[in-house]
A and B are shown apart, each in its own frame.
Chain A
Amino acid sequence: MSDDRERIPHPTTSIDPHRHSMPRVPGSPLFSGPHFQVPKTERAEKAISTSVTIIPMINASPTESPLPAENQIDHLRTIDLYKSYRKGSVEVPVLRGVEVNIRPGEFLAIEGQSGSGKSTLLHLMGTLDGPDKGEIHFHGRRIDNLPARNRDTLRNKRIGMIFQFYHLLPELSMLENVLSPLMIADGVWSYLKNRRKYRETAKSLLNLMGLSHRLKHKPRELSGGEMQRAAIARALIARPELLLADEPTGNLDQATGREILKILRTLNEEQNITIVMVTHDQSLAAQADRIVRLKGGVIEG
């Protein structure tokens, strides 16, 4: 039950307008900000269908945009990343000197064919795996060599992840799935103390995702789109500043995929969450701010 609130200090607090506007006060809920006090309206239920309604809802406080000039320090930066996997006695190189800079508030798509190493790159960015060589910097601070405990905390509180296969826990209801990062962050007592507040937050998030009628359902009772929306809600509950999406629409039909992408765009635009999305679909990648092409373990062009 780690109640580890230790986090990597922001190099400059001001680079993150979202945090700037809503400082985290110890002991207070993570996001008591006004933009999460969403009234339960019927409009919220339909929120995802029209981006017009979702924007003012999620982002009640206006975003400071464009970013101040001094915030041009990279949100995430990889320096000369190498990674190879071992298949029996053969070493298969996956990444061969990848350099990517991701600016705060950016929506970056990493596009590549299967086996180009894009997922591996995303896992390295999310500190799920360590590079053989090279460095990863988060807000200018190296994270790939941090102790496991700090990396766990980083993943838990500052980075949200969504996957092609949603990866919800089958034993938990949707609400519990969304709450799981908070359960991991808090010990038993502090979780139970804040339980009501957390549940309210999770419910309003699911409300925004149009899932408020599905709170008690187990993942196997949900459709793919619903599961992915729940996974996004889970990724957002700890209010991360970076969202890593691994083929988020890869397992969905086109219409649902567009819906998911729309949500991501909205999050990026309205909440200024930095998003890195990995995909093999060029048309999907085209909707990002910037596209990086990965081929044979190196960045193309």
Chain B
Amino acid sequence: MYKLLLCWRYLRTRYIALVSIISVMLGVATMIVVNSVMEGFSGEMQNRIHNSTSDIVIDALDFAGMPDAEYQFEQIRKAAGEDIEAMSPVVLTIGMLNLSPGGRSISMPVRVIGIDEATQGLVSDFNKYLQHPENRKKMSFALREDKYDTRDHQADGDAPDRSIMAEAGWKRRRMIAESLAREQKNRWENPAGAEIRRQSYVEGAEGGAAAPRGAAEGDPEGNVPPPVENVPTGDIFQQNPALAAAAAPAFDMAKDQHTGIVLGMLLASRRFLLDSDEPNGGCEDRFYVLPGEDVKLTFPTAGTPPKVASDTFTVVDFFESKMSESDSSFVFVPIRELQRLRGMSASAADAGMINQILIKLKPGVDGDRVRDKLKAIYPETMYSVQTWRDQRSPLLAAVQLETTILNVLLFFIIAVAGFGILAIFYMIVVEKTRDIGILKSLGASRGGVMGIFLAYGLSLGLVGSGAGLVIGLLFVQYINQIADFLSWVRGMPVFDPTIYYFNKIPTSLVPQTVISIVVGAVAIAVLASILPARRAARLHPVEALRYE
């Protein structure tokens, strides 16, 4: 009983002990905050990785691919049919994308992915990342009339301005066709005046399509690039109606589209940070190209040696998985068209060569087990069978390592707090030497005296980590408000949405982690009090009583 009473009194009267409480508290709070942010980031990242690819991916190591998707599906079903929900074939290649925003030609290396629009949405979250609500329901490579999202549908709360998307679709296409037709007419009639008109179109486009600054500032001297190659949305045939009529007599830009293409959001736009004080996080997305416009895509054919194949595609949607790596390099085209252009299928009836099979598993099925089954029929020398985790294992391992190292480092904070407790307790034991002697003269046992200081350490640990827990949880709860406040104080953003492509700091609290942090901190406090407590217990009562 006296242990509890004395421990309670010491807790209330020794203000120096508050210092150790505070250090335990800060350690616990920091660990909780850092862990939940790391957990939030890696959880969000895993989610995105998982959603942008399928559960299991079978890759042909040979770039030429594997034949006959239907036959492959049959083989897979035979091996692990009961675990599989859906499968989708993919053709992969590299390519060069050519955009011409505001009269300038921009070429970008891209990863060309031929997908089956009907099944791609079944094996991955591909559809979710599109910008047209109808495409999210049922993906199609046909251009939509309008009603593209003017606001990021995945963002909750603030999102960058994308009001320009209201113009996208057939609407945009007809507008461009009209302006081109007008210009061609003028040029045909008055070649000298064409240049001026072209320039005015460019300025109009800049205002309308919000092309990046500089694209159309042009040269005031009239030192303009050669006109033919740089006409916007350049289909070369449209430069010359006679030529166009001969080559594609039925193609009318206002009514027809080329093969559809879905561009990665970061290929089509750039995010600009204007002013962090404004709503929307002060960000604005500016587009190089909008759905409805045409782009050119160049890629190698499947023959040996490869030849160059090129075609014009009509942008029908954007793909935004929020994984900057994918969003800045993926373009999706219909698989059949890609096979045809690359010479991967002999005829329209032939299923053609494919590079990849995406497999979606039924819920709760262990991916590793199915992967091992499939490895039996797809030998490792020719194919790679990977779960989504395997595919990104270096990245996931890196994040895991980062979390571990951070935790080890942060645990040192609490360990430092532990040494603080140790030092402060030694002081208190020295200060209380006479009291310890008194207690012993009254018949308190060694264990009892030790118990006082262990209970003291325990209560410091409990109070400190309790307070740390509360502060940590509050911090996590209001982390975005705190980040905003810090941004305001520092005058520059703490969390830059243009870097992370999250508008908010993701957090996730794992109860087990929180519990083990608190338990660990309490254990350290108790461990740190063992030495001083033993010293107190071993004090000789006579010497302790004489102590002044």
By a beta-carbon cutoff of 8 Å, the part of chain A in contact with chain B is: 1-2, 120, 123, 126, 128-129, 148-149, 152-157, 161, 163, 167-172, 176, 180-181, 183-188, 191-192, 234
Contact = CB atoms under 8 A, between A and B. Distances in A.
Contacts of B9: 171-172
Contact of B441 (A120, A155, A183, A185): A155
Contact of A184 (B4, B439, B541, B542): B439
Given A167-B438, A171-B6, A186 B1 contact: yes
A148 B1 contact: no
Given A170-B435, A171-B6, A172-B9, A155 B1 contact: no
A171 B10 contact: yes
Given A167-B438, A169-B435, A170-B435, A2 B6 contact: no
B3 interface: yes
Max count, chain A CB within 10 A of own CB: residue among B2, B440, B448, B545: B2
B5 interface: yes
Nearest to A171: B9
Contacts of A172: 5-6, 9
Contacts, number: 82
A120 B1 CA distance: 30
Given A156-B443, A170-B435, A180-B439, 17 more contacts: A120-B542, A123-B542, A128-B440, A148-B446, A156-B444, A157-B443, A163-B545, A167-B437, A168-B438, A169-B439, A172-B5, A172-B6, A180-B442, A183-B2, A184-B1, A184-B439, A191-B1
Max count, chain B CB within 10 A of own CB: residue among A129, A163, A171, A172: A171
Contacts of A168: 438
29 contacts: A1-B1, A1-B3, A2-B445, A2-B447, A2-B448, A128-B440, A129-B540, A148-B445, A153-B443, A154-B443, A155-B443, A156-B443, A156-B444, A161-B441, A163-B545, A167-B545, A169-B439, A170-B435, A171-B10, A171-B435, A172-B5, A172-B6, A172-B9, A180-B2, A181-B442, A184-B439, A184-B444, A184-B448, A234-B442
A84 to B, nearest CB: 13
A234 B524 CA distance: 37
B512 interface: no
Contacts of A152: 440, 443-445
A145 to B, nearest CB: 17
Max count, chain B CB within 10 A of own CB: residue among A149, A172, A180, A181: A180
Judged by DSSP, the binding face of B is: helix
Interface in B88-126: none
Contacts of B446: 148
A223 B447 CA distance: 33
A167 B541 contact: no
A149 B443 CA distance: 9
Max count, chain B CB within 10 A of own CB: residue among A155, A183, A187: A183
B548 to A, nearest CB: 9
B1 A156 contact: no
A164 to B, nearest CB: 10
Interface string B36-78: 0000000000000000000000000000000000000000000
B13 interface: yes
Contacts of A171: 6, 9-10, 13, 435
Interface residues of B, number: 28
Nearest to A168: B438
A187 B1 contact: yes
Nearest to B13: A171
Contacts of B10: 171
A216 to B, nearest CB: 14
Contacts of B2: 180, 183-184
Contacts of B4: 188
A290 B262 CA distance: 112
Interface string B421-461: 00000000000001101111111111110010000000000
A153 B445 CA distance: 8
A126 B442 CA distance: 10
A48 B255 CA distance: 117
Interface string B1-31: 1111110011001000000000000000000
A167 B441 contact: yes
A1 B452 CA distance: 10
A187 B445 CA distance: 13
B5 A155 contact: no
